[in-house]
Amino acid sequence: MIAHSVFFYIFSLIAIISAVMVTVSKNTVHSVFFLILDFISISCLFIMIGAEFLGMIMLIVYVGAVAVLFLFVVMMLNVAEQKGQWFSSRWDGGTHIPVGLLVSLIIFFELIIVIGGWKYKPDLLNSLSINISTEVTNTRSIGNVLYTDYILLFQISGMILLVAMIGAIVLTYRERAGVKRQSYIKQISRERDEGVDLVEAERNKGVKIDA
């Protein structure tokens, strides 16, 4: 049990330090790397309390997909160069700081509420309609709850994500003119008659192709 708590403190320490480093570090790409470290140590914590399914899904979704996209955006847009400007007086680009303060205030109060709710956790566990048994693997028990009691919410959240995805594609899609696309069917179905043309070339004039 001692070893268990030692590992718990190691992983939580890494998580907290890297969470701080995400905001503190000057280089934006480093911030993303610290974010990844944070995700990984949190998934380790999940695995330690026996929620291995959640831990693995955390790794696959957040580290394997979301953070890669973050990294992509940060690398491509070169955000690192802009970072210093936001807090300097010369930059008058907008109202980032008040908005940021508002959002962080909201998150702060939410966190306080969540930590306060920790007190009521035993009552909450007793009031659950399903009883948690250790015999069944947690993948199976999550499936049992997710696809029966909460199927409607599950489906609706899937639909919302789908709509968001399609919306993002529609917003960013631009038809570009002059792009040559390859069509396999067109290539394969080409015959000799349309591909080869016998041209009588006139003397001293040559032939104009693509006319």
Total residues contacting another protein by CB under 8 A comes to: 25
The distance of closest approach from Cβ of residue 15 to another protein in the complex, given in angstroms and rounded to an integer, is 17
| φ, ψ (nearest 5 deg) of residue 69 | -65, -45
Q: What is the dihedral of CA 87, 90, 96, 97, to 10 degrees?
A: 50
Instruction: Please identify which residue in 78, 82, 85, 137 interacts with another protein, judged by CB under 8 A.
Output: 137
Toward another protein, which CB reaches closer, 92 or 135? 135
Q: In angstroms, rounded to a whole number, what is the distance separating the alpha carbons of residues 20 and 109?
A: 19
The distance of closest approach from Cβ of residue 3 to another protein in the complex, given in angstroms and rounded to an integer, is 5
User: Contacts with another protein in 157-186 (CB under 8 A)?
Assistant: 182
12-to-16, 21, 86, 132, 165 alpha-carbon distances in Å: 6, 14, 31, 26, 34
Strand partners, 206: 202
> Does 188 interact with another protein (rule: CB under 8 A)?
no
The residue assigned the tokens 């035993």 is 122
The distance of closest approach from Cβ of residue 104 to another protein in the complex, given in angstroms and rounded to an integer, is 29
Q: Which residues of this chain interact with another protein, rule CB under 8 A?
A: 2-3, 27, 29-30, 33, 36, 52-53, 56-57, 59-60, 63-65, 68, 71-72, 75-76, 137, 139-140, 182
